[in-house]
Amino acid sequence: FFANAGTAIGVGLDSTEEAWATALEVNVMAHVRAARLLVPEWLERGGGRFVVTASAAGLLATVGNAPYSVSKHAAVGFAEWLSITYGNRGITVQAICPQGVTTRMLDEAGPFKELLTRDGALSPEQVAESVWQGLQDGGFLILPHPEVLEYYSNRAAHTDRWLGLMRRIQRKVDDGSMG
């Protein structure tokens, strides 16, 4: 099963309650509801696969869109929980975490498009190929942009330095020098 819904509604602290609720509903709760329906049946038959389309923002955070970043972190966290809880019982769980993908969501990213495409935006077909390979490999993280693994490792190993870098990027967005 592919939990592929996603929305990038809202921006920062001024995002409405409705925007936050929508982001959490679509980016997290849709996955929870699907798992509630599917996992019991998979346990009875001895196996299944649950693939969450998250985002690199779910591993790294993102500049600009708090509801998106927070909800994608929650989506990755839910996928990790599913894997921990059901991985020994035949349920394979994977999380797809791309950066920029040439979709309408990227087209509507405004000043953040430059940031999201700095490592190159992938076509949906390229992401699909990466996902296919990830399904064959069976690892938890499917990273269509391989550099995300290095960023994720650096974020974990050097959190303060990572946050400083992200603040510098935010400053560029704030002063209009990015995008």
Q: For residue 36, what is the domain's CATH number?
A: 3.40.50.720
Contacts of 145 by beta carbon, 8 Å cutoff, 6+ apart? 56, 98, 99, 100, 119, 120, 122
pLDDT at 85: 98
Structure tokens at 110: 């405004």
Residue 163 predicted with pLDDT over 90: yes
Contacts of 79 by beta carbon, 8 Å cutoff, 6+ apart? 31, 50, 52, 54, 93, 94, 95, 140
By C-alpha distance, which of 115, 30, 114, 44 is closest to 78? Answer: 30
Determine the structural domain holding residue 142 and report its residue range. Answer: 2-174
Amino acid identity at 90: G
pLDDT tens digits for range 19-54? 999 999 999 999 999 999 999 999 999 999 999 999
**Is residue 10 in a domain?**
yes
Instruction: Work out how many domains the chain is built from and give that number.
Output: 1
**Is residue 90 in a domain?**
yes
pLDDT at 33: 97
Please name the helix (run of DSSP H) or strand (run of DSSP E) that holds residue 141, with its range, or none: strand 141-142
Residue 61 predicted with pLDDT over 60: yes
**Is residue 179 in a domain?**
no
pLDDT tens digits for range 124-161? 889 899 999 999 999 999 999 999 999 999 999 999 99
Structure tokens at 84: 């921990």
- Residue percentage of the chain with pLDDT more than 90: 65
pLDDT tens digits for range 111-131? 665 666 676 777 888 989 999
